[in-house]
Every structure is written in structure tokens, then in C-alpha cells.
Amino acid sequence: MSTIWVLGAGQLGAMLKQAATPLGLNVRPVDIESDEILNLASNDIVTAEREEWPTTKATEQLATHKNFVNLNTFPQLADRLTQKQWLDRLNLATAPWFPIKQDSSSEHCYSTLGERVLLKRRRGGYDGKGQFWLKQDEATEIPEDWKGHAIAEQAINFDEEVSLVGVRGKNGESYFYPLTLNLHINGILYASIAPLHRLNHLQSKAEAMLSKLMEALDYVGVMAMECFRLGDDLLINELAPRVHNSGHWTQAGASVNQFENHIRAVAGLPLAPAEVKNLSLMVNLIGVPVNYDWLSTEGIELYWYKKSVRPGRKVGHINMCSGDTTKLNKALTKLDAQLPEPYQEAIKWLKANLPE
């Protein structure tokens, strides 16, 4: 049987492997720093849990395999400049933006994009890292070492943030999970909730946007699209050519989760619409030590990544899924007492978004 190799051995690789196990498939996440000689067979398949990587002994072996799915898409989406150019070319709405060049001035940013402008590094940003706010009233200047390496975006006064996770197969068929509502604090995802009846009217619009992209890129596997919702409009914030944190709830709340769907797609196995069960909540564990008392709450599903705990680092997540909102509400109250700041804000937000 062929092996599905995953470039990267973080939590996403581990969860891809976990999801493939019941299907009897071999999944091998590979640490990018490994200097092992990988026993790649010609009919093996290669995928990735991250959108960019340095050239190492491990990544070189994987990236030269003929069955690396979406290999050419990664560099195009990993660079925010070319990602935005793709979105523009396809007429998909984003925040107004332009590239920061060697001769760009902060005055030009303010006069074109307004008094609050977000600079984003073209490469390597995640969890709000690689962002820099320009504020006209504080006369903030573009840092010299960002020139040529960043894009500028207008600050969007969005109503809320939603994301769409979809999967596309080798024959072009695609399926989507219901829109997920997300809360970011300081640029990092803290909590998600899905599905919400009140977002249903945006579902087909979001699906059309992500379909257009996946088709244009001839993409195979799971892709996530993060959006800002302004009234009934969606602006695309960013794309992730991989399984995504805002899709983690599908482990509890869907008959086929995003990880299994990605594996099915890259392996060329049949896809089908996932049955979505009840209402799901996801709470990211960020910079907090593991506390197995969390497990004393009915309905809690804990994923602990076994990473060392550092402030701002994603070290696990908690999923819950139930058709009983009173139960979810109770579980959140219990969690509230077991988590530090700023979880009170995240839990309050989740409770406020529970349907009546």
C-alpha cells in the first residue's frame, strides 16, 4: 500500500494521520528538519501541513516527488502579494491593498487607504505575527526593513469574521462545511462556532468564491478561506491551502472531518458531503498549560499537541458538539473558571453566539 507523506510534523500533520487511521491508510508526517533518508516509493503521495518551507534534506526529498499534490500552488498562496494578485485577477473582493515597495511612503498609505493601515509581511506571518499597524494620528512610519517585503491593507471595520472550509477532489467535485464564525484576539484565533442559522444566507456566496479559486488553481484537498463579514458582503482576508484551525470543530461536529476529507482528496478516494451534527464549538488553547480537570466536563473533547507552552503559542484545542444549548452553556461556564485571561472574553463571545 502506498504511503501519504506530510511535509511538516506539527499538530496538523498529527491530526491528518489520526483521521486516516480508521481508513487503514498510512500517513507519515515528516519534520522539516529531519535528515532521515525517506523511503519514498514512486506511487506514494505527498501533501503538506504548511504553505511554505525552507530547503532542507527532508523537504527536498518530498518536494521532488512527482506526486506532491498542489506543489505549484503553495508558493503562490504563501506569498501574500501573489495571493492578493490571484484574488484580484479572479475579481474576488478583498480589503483595498497595495504592495509596499522600496520607495513607498507612509503618507501614500494614509492618503490611499485611510488613517489606519495594516502592514503584513509577505511571507511567514501567522497568528497575527508579521503584522504592523500604521496609525496616522501617531504618525507611524513604515519600518525600513518592511519595504519590499510587505503589503499594505486598509483597516476593515468588519461586523465579524467567518471562514469557509472546502474540499475539492481530483475530478473537480467539491464540498463545503457550513460557514464558521471566528473570534480573533490580537490577531490569533481563540474560538469558533458552527453552524449558525443566521449565516445560512451567505453560504452559497462564500461557496461560489472558494469554488472559483479552487478551480482556477486546479486545487486538490482542503482549502480554507477567511473572510470579513460586512453586512451581507464578504471580503476575503486570506486563504490557506491546507487544513485550517477554524475547521477543527469538524472533528466533533461532522461525520467526515476536514483532516479525513483532505486525505481522501489527495489519495483520490471518494468524497461525499459530510453530515453535520448539531452545534459545535472550538476553543483554542493558547499559551496555557494542560489541565486534565477540563475533562471533568460533559461533552468536552480535548486535543493536546504535546508542545512546550509559551505565551501566544497554540498548544491544543477543545471541541464540543451538542444539540442542547443549555448543556453547551453549562460546559462553557465550567471552562470559564478553568482558564485564564483573555478566555473570559472568548467564552462570553461563544455564549452570546449560542442560538436561543
Which positions touch Mg ion (CB under 5 A)? 226, 238
Q: How far apart are CA 36 and CA 139, in angstroms?
A: 51
Q: How far apart are CA 220 and CA 262, in angstroms?
A: 8
Residue span binding ligand ATP (CB under 6 A) among the ranges 121-129, 171-179, 196-204, 215-223: 121-129
The least CB distance from residue 92 to ligand ATP, in Å, is: 15
- Which residue's CB is nearer to ligand ATP, number 118 or number 320? 118
- Which residue's CB is nearer to ligand ATP, number 187 or number 287? 187
- Residues numbered 59 to 98 that lie near ligand ATP (CB under 6 A) are 95
Q: How far apart are CA 128 and CA 218, in angstroms?
A: 29
Burial of 238 (0-12, 13-18, 19+ CB in 10 A): middle
Q: Give yes or no for a contact between 232 and 303, defined as CB atoms under 8 angstroms apart.
A: no
The least CB distance from residue 109 to ligand ATP, in Å, is: 12
- Residues numbered 182 to 201 that lie near ligand ATP (CB under 6 A) are 184, 187
Q: C-alpha cell of 31? A: 519534520
The least CB distance from residue 327 to Mg ion, in Å, is: 30
**238 lies in the site for ligand ATP, by CB under 6 A:** yes
336 contacts which partner out of ligand ATP, Mg ion, none, CB within 5 to 8 A by kind?
none
List b or e across 159-194, with b for residues whose CB sees 16 or more CB atoms inside 10 angstroms: eebbbbbbbbbeeeebbbbbbbbbbbbeebbbbbbb
DSSP summary character for residue 242: S
Of 126, 216, 291, 307, the one binding ligand ATP by CB under 6 A: 126
Burial of 90 (0-12, 13-18, 19+ CB in 10 A): middle
Q: Give yes or no for a contact between 58 and 34, defined as CB atoms under 8 angstroms apart.
A: yes
The least CB distance from residue 128 to ligand ATP, in Å, is: 4
The least CB distance from residue 161 to ligand ATP, in Å, is: 5
- Which residue's CB is nearer to ligand ATP, number 174 or number 284? 284
Task: Please give the residue ranges that form the binding site for ligand ATP (CB under 6 A).
Answer: 95, 118, 120, 125-128, 153, 155-156, 161, 184, 187, 226, 237-238
